């Protein structure tokens, strides 16, 4: 029979689990809002007979594997010996798998035992307690039984490079395809399912600071969502047509072949990639540094604004540039930025998370210190101007134009069609255009050389139209700040990865 320990609340439950860990009674823990069976998500779907959901999960796994094989930075993730690494990523991003989450940290288990929607009245939360060596001993005997033929169970300890979410949660897994608790009922600590706060904050479990891998994963899962939505819309349209509703259709945007509308150019074959896009790997634009969460995500940096400062954004920019020049190692850490002396009109609750997000996305890319400082200054300027309080699209355009001059909306994406948008100034964007564009356009298209919006209608490939060094500066000082301010779920920080750039 499993042992059941009672605690009066979440705090006492976590303290008890921690005592058990120190006494080496248990080394793995799992928190749940209710005492439902500890089964992997894919197994729960199988037990429920939800074949449709299992098919979607299978499709998502295959889609991710196909994508990862085409991303140089993820080549190790999809090698034959790293299948657990691959599924650890999928598990932590909500794809149903045969992996069940545990942690070696009782505080983390306590968070999951108290996080989420309220339980049904009278239900108790629990922290499952597991002795991993004892489970393996039991499995060694059980697996020989004829009744367990085809059953699988494996303890998985895996450290996925740059998967900070897994490192923050000190995660481990059980891989299984059957209802394993019939052979090994788990001991547990139970306690009233109340609204008491979790023992650790959500930021500790789901860090807002993201690693290079996690920025790539944001990119992938945005594409995945769009693809699954499009597939579902296509299914609905086809179903409606079968019902005789011929007025139903689905419009698909078609990309220009090679990113160019050939008739707009005198000799499309002369439109070659610009030299400025060569050698970016040597410059560090495709580096993929390995960083560990507990070593990198630490510390604060303070920027001070004098009380008589006329424009806080300029002070923030100058102070950031000074801090980076004084401590080059600062870019090796995902620090929290603090501002002292800010005027009451500057909403730090809005500003500081934005600075953190920009910093985490830019610090390991080869942007200059001045570029990062200018990004911080631009974000500060727009937060202080009340940009986030303007909701209407046209009013936002007018708001930015009053501050910065004429702007226009641009859209950009990567090879896998992960797209994002930003406002940029027309002047800075036009300065990115290759200098010989006049000689390349057909005579009746020459006007596009003086109209950046018109030019981007006929060439979407940034390698053919935009000088990289100027585009990188535009990104740092305008496109990244605007993506951060618009609170976009996906932000493109690295212009070297772009395959398309044009009008929305």
DSSP 8-state symbol, 475: I
Residue 247: pLDDT over 70: no
* Residues 459-484 pLDDT 10s: 999 999 999 999 999 999 999 999 99
Q: Is the Cβ–Cβ distance between 10 and 107 less than 8 Å?
A: no
Picking from 313, 416, 339, 331, the residue whose alpha carbon sits closest to that of residue 368 is: 331
What are the residue boundaries of the structural domains of the chain, listed by start?
A: 4-40+98-207, 257-502
DSSP strand pairing (336-340 vs 171-176): unpaired
Whether the pLDDT of residue 104 is over 90: the answer is yes
pLDDT at residue 236 in the model: 66
Rounded average pLDDT over 127-150: 96
Q: What is the pLDDT of residues 145-181, one digit of tens each?
A: 999 999 999 999 999 989 999 999 999 999 999 999 9
Look at 84-93, 221-230, 362-371, 423-432 and tell me which has the smallest mean pLDDT. Answer: 221-230
The whole-angstrom separation of Cα 173 and Cα 155 is 6
255-290 pLDDT, tens digit each: 678 889 999 999 988 889 999 999 999 999 998 888
Distance CA 471, CA 87 (A): 36
Gyration radius of the chain's alpha carbons: 27
Whether the per-residue pLDDT at 250 is higher than 50: the answer is: no
Average pLDDT of the chain? 91
pLDDT at 52 over 70: yes
| In the predicted structure, residue 121 carries a pLDDT above the cut 80 | no
Instruction: Compute the C-alpha angle 233/238/243, nearest 5°.
Output: 125
Per-residue confidence (pLDDT) for residue 165, from 0 to 100: 92
pLDDT tens column, 13-47: 999 999 999 999 999 999 999 999 999 999 999 99
DSSP helix/strand/coil, 500: strand
pLDDT for the residue numbered 240: 67
**CA 225 – CA 158 distance, rounded (Å):** 27
CA atoms of 220 and 217, how far apart (whole Å): 5
pLDDT of 445 reads 95
Q: Specify the DSSP element, H or E, that contains 44.
A: helix 41-48
- 241/419: higher pLDDT: 419
Give 198's pLDDT tier (boundaries 50, 70, 90). confident
Rounded-to-integer distance, Cα 490 and Cα 277, Å:
24
What is the distance between the terminal CA atoms of the chain, rounded to a whole angstrom? 62
What pTM value is reported for the model? 0.87
94-128 in b/e form (b: 16+ CB < 10 A) is ebbbbbbbbbbbbbbbbbbbbeeeebeeeebbbbb
| Displacement of CA 169 from its chain's centroid (Å) | 17
Nearest-CA neighbor of 380 among 422, 352, 399?
352
């Amino acid at each position: 029979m499993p042992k059941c320990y009672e605690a009066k609340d979440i705090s006492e439950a976590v303290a008890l689990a921690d005592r058990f860990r120190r006494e080496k009674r248990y080394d793995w823990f799992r928190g749940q809002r209710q005492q439902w069976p500890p089964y992997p998500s894919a197994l729960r779907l199988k037990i429920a007979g939800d074949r449709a959901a299992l098919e979607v999960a299978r499709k998502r796994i295959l889609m991710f594997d196909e994508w990862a094989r085409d991303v140089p930075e993820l080549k190790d993730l999809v090698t034959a010996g790293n299948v657990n690494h691959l599924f650890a990523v999928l598990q932590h991003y909500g794809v149903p798998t045969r992996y069940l989450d545990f942690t070696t940290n009782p505080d983390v288990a306590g968070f999951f035992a108290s996080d989420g929607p309220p339980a049904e009245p009278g239900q108790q939360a629990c922290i499952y307690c597991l002795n991993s060596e004892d489970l393996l001993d039991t499995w060694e005997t059980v697996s020989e039984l004829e009744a367990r033929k085809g059953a699988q169970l494996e303890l998985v300890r895996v450290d996925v490079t740059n998967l900070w979410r897994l490192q923050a949660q000190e995660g481990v897994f059980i891989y299984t395809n059957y209802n394993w608790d019939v052979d090994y009922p788990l001991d547990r600590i139970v306690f009233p399912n109340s609204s008491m706060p979790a023992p650790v904050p959500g930021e500790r479990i789901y860090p807002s600071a993201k690693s290079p891998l996690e920025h790539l994963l944001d990119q992938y899962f945005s594409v995945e969502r769009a693809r699954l939505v499009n597939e579902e819309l296509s299914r609905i349209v086809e179903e409606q047509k079968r019902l005789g509703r011929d007025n139903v259709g689905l419009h698909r945007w078609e990309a220009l072949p090679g990113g160019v509308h050939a008739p707009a150019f005198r000799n499309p074959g002369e439109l070659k990639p610009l030299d400025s896009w060569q050698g970016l790997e040597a410059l560090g634009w495709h580096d993929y540094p390995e960083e560990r969460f507990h070593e990198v995500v630490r510390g604060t940096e303070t920027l001070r604004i004098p009380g008589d400062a006329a424009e806080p954004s300029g002070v923030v920019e100058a102070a950031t540039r000074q801090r980076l020049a004084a401590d080059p190692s600062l870019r090796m850490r995902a620090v929290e930025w603090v501002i002292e002396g800010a005027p009451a009109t500057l909403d730090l609750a809005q500003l500081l998370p934005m600075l953190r997000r920009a910093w985490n996305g830019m610090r390991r890319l080869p942007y200059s210190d001045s570029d990062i400082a200018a990004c911080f200054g631009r974000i500060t300027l727009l937060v202080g101007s009340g940009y986030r309080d303007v909701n209407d699209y046209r009013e936002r355009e007018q708001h930015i134009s009053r501050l910065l001059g004429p702007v226009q909306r641009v859209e950009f994406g990567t090879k896998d069609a992960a797209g994002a948008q930003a406002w940029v100034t027309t002047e800075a964007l036009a300065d990115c255009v290759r200098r010989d564009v006049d000689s390349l356009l057909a005579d009746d298209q020459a006007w596009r050389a003086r109209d950046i919006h018109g030019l981007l209608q006929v060439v979407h490939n940034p390698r053919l139209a935009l000088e990289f060094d100027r585009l990188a500066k535009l990104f740092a000082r305008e496109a990244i700040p605007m993506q951060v301010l618009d609170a976009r779920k996906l932000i493109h920080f690295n212009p070297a990865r772009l395959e398309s750039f044009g009008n929305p």
